[in-house]
Amino acid sequence: MTSGREANLLGNVHGGEIMKLADSTAGAVAQRHSGGPAVTAAMDEMAFLEPVHVGDIVRTFAQVNWAGRSSMEIGVRVETQPWNDPSTSALHVASAYFVFVAIDADGRAREVPPLVPETPDEVRRMREAEIRRAHRLAKRQEIESGRHRGD
Ligand SMILES: CC(C)(COP(=O)(O)OP(=O)(O)OC[C@H]1O[C@@H](n2cnc3c(N)ncnc32)[C@H](O)[C@@H]1OP(=O)(O)O)[C@@H](O)C(=O)NCCC(=O)NCCS
């Protein structure tokens, strides 16, 4: 991360730049899993754990945690290393969960391949993603029914 425009008032990298990077990485993974275009439908639980310094080398890692009919949850992990000290181990600076929806040429949701978890980590990620999905849906439903009632 380099330029002044990407910095915040404290001289660190603006959180929005990290979000953009995470979104782009998640998009690439969603595209690969679904074999075509996929759009960001939602992002939740973006956690910033440490500041990112101007000049830091930033690496993003992402994987599909869960796949539904047309949507996928993608988990992203962001790590940094000082540009001038390769002996320093990578620091986990941020994590986020994105929901991507695969779309066809008309922008309509299209089906994605199912996810087949194999390792214990993949099984855990899928289980945790199912919990987040259930919470997202429950929250949306509760808000909508409240609006219906005129709460
Ligand atoms: C994402 C989008 C294609 C969904 O369209 P839609 O008409 O709501 O589609 P559906 O109701 O058929 O839902 C499709 C899937 O998306 C999921 N979904 C839709 N909105 C969601 C949201 N806000 N959060 C989580 N999941 C969502 C649904 O649960 C469903 O999942 P499933 O097929 O795996 O069961 C549409 O809202 C869209 O085009 N949004 C703009 C996306 C975009 O341009 N992003 C870039 C921002 S600049």
82 occurs within a structural domain: yes
The pLDDT value given to residue 105: 97
65 occurs within a structural domain: yes
143 occurs within a structural domain: no
124 occurs within a structural domain: no
Q: How many domains does the chain have?
A: 1
Any ligand 1 atom below 6 A from CB of 34: no
Query: What atom of ligand 1 comes closest to residue 40's alpha carbon?
Result: 45
139 occurs within a structural domain: no
Any ligand 1 atom below 6 A from CB of 41: yes
Q: What is the pLDDT along the chain (151 residues), one digit of tens a residue?
A: 555 678 888 889 999 999 999 999 999 999 999 999 999 999 988 999 999 999 999 999 999 999 999 999 999 999 999 998 889 999 999 999 999 999 999 999 999 999 999 999 999 999 999 999 999 999 999 999 999 888 7
Q: What is the pLDDT of residues 41-66, one digit of tens each?
A: 999 889 999 999 999 999 999 999 99
What distance in Å separates the CA atoms of residue 142 and residue 146, rounded to the nearest whole number?
6
Query: What atom of ligand 1 comes closest to residue 68's alpha carbon?
Result: 34
Residue 28 CB-density burial (10 A; 0-12 exposed, 13-18 middle, 19+ buried)? middle
**Site to substitute for ligand 1 among 20, 31, 66, 71, most atoms within 8 A of C-beta:** 71
43 occurs within a structural domain: yes
Any ligand 1 atom below 6 A from CB of 101: yes
Any ligand 1 atom below 6 A from CB of 109: yes
Query: What atom of ligand 1 comes closest to residue 70's alpha carbon?
Result: 33
The pLDDT value given to residue 1: 58
For residue 29, give both structure tokens: 């993974």
145 occurs within a structural domain: no
The pLDDT value given to residue 150: 82
Which among 97, 22, 14, 86 is positioned nearest to 53, based on CA atoms? 14
The pLDDT value given to residue 9: 85
16 occurs within a structural domain: yes
Residues of the domain holding 36: 4-115
Any ligand 1 atom below 6 A from CB of 68: yes
CATH for 11: 3.10.129.10
The pLDDT value given to residue 4: 62
